[in-house]
Structure formats: structure tokens, C-alpha cells
Amino acid sequence: MNTPELPPKAEVTLPQRKLAFFPAACSIMALLLLIVWPAQALPGPTPEQQLKQHIQQELQQYLRQLGVKARQQEIQLNLPSALSDNRCDKLDISRRQQTEPPLGRVSYSLSCTSPQRWQSRAVAQVKLFLPLVVASRTLERDEVLTADMLSLQDLDISSIRHGLEFDAATLLGMTVKRRISAGSPVSRHLLQAAYLVQKGAQITLQYRGDGFAVTTSAIALSDGQLGERISVQNVSSGKVIDAIVTGENNAETTQK
């Protein structure tokens, strides 16, 4: 005799609203935990990180004064090993000669007031590379600078500091006072103003007008560098006029 099959029992399921309760409850519990037990604050920067940031800020200020951008900078720090585990919320950083840029070997004083009080010293080795005007070839004494004699090269200025030149055009026409090796920085203390026209010298004066040019002789009444305006006296007429120095014993004017 066959036993009739019973209908399958329905599976017991929780109402959907009950299922939705658990994630909501977990979120509320997590929020309560954050309120009761707040997360521990992350540690602040180490003294080494703070010192490096301080030096970078000093370098940026120095670059703004120069009006140039650095091509590269290198900062190497030497701190006491005990500072590696120290934290400081209020760190005072100072050095001697604050008006000088932090270049080369620089000694810093560190003073912490919170959370603990301590004092220490650190040494930084700082290099800053800037595009300087250098000699394209060896420049001999009494040579007059032209554009092909000069070029730009990225150099570490930590051992130069003074007499920095970033624009070769401002040096053109000056005379070399002493020999400058190829690749060496060219600064103004190695140069002197070149007078292409000497006071009292007879020069060639060119008049330029609309579509014509006339050449005559004149006497220079003052020394003149390339591109400089000087007074000259026309030999023929005796008239004194202004002219622009265009070369050695040469000047040009539009005055008649």
C-alpha cells in the first residue's frame, strides 16, 4: 500500500524588516563606540621632518628674493640618534646668522616645550642648484664679452653665495679683468665696464634718417659703453648732439 506523499513543509524565513535591523544596529553600535572610545590621534611629524620642512621654507624665501627657481636642492640632516624616537608638538628651530641663506654646512638649535621639554642640536648639509652664467670658453684678460662667450649652467651655489649672475645679456660689452676658466661662473667682480668710446677720441658718427644715412667725424665728449647715450661734437659744424655707442669709436644719431 502506497503512503500518500505529504506536501513539503514551508521554510521558515524572517521578515524582511527584521533582516534590515541588523546592519542598522551595527552602524549605531559603531557610532556609539566612536563616541565612547575616540580613535587615538595620529602621531605628528618627527623633529627630523619638521627641521627639513623648516629648511625648505627658508630656501623658498631666499629664492623669492633672488627672483629665480631652483633646478635642484639637496638636504642631508645629521641629528642625535635619541631624537628618532622623540615627538614634539611645539618645536622651536633657530640658527645663527638668520639673514644668510641656509647653504652649505648649517648648525641648528632645537628646543621642544611639549609634550616634554628637551633641547638638542642638528647639522644640515644643504645644496641648491641654480642656472648661473658661466664662461663658454676660457676668457682672457681685456676681452670684451659677447653672447657666444657666455652660457647658462646649473651649479651648486652653496660655495658661491655672492656675485650670482642669471642673465648673460646684462654682462655683454663688459671687459674681463682677469682670466676666467671655461665652465667657471662669471660675476661682475671679475669684469669691468668696457668703454668702446673714450672721452676726447675722434669717432665715426652716422646720421640715420628716412631712407638715408650720412657718415661724418665727431669728438666724444664722454666715455661710452655699448648702447650708452653720450654727447659728441660734430667736427664740421661744431654742434653738440646726443648719440648712441654702436661699436668701438662708432656712434649713431637721428639728430641733425
Backbone dihedral region for residue 189 (phi beyond 0: left; psi -120 to 50: alpha; all else: beta): alpha
- Contact status, residue 164 vs residue 70, Cβ threshold 8 Å: no
pTM value surpassing 0.85: no
| pLDDT, tens digit (0-9, with 9 covering 90-100), for 122-165 | 999 999 999 999 999 999 998 989 999 999 999 999 988 778 99
pLDDT of residue 22: 47
- Residue 121 sits at φ, ψ, to 5 deg, of -130, 155
pLDDT of residue 10: 44
pLDDT of residue 41: 52
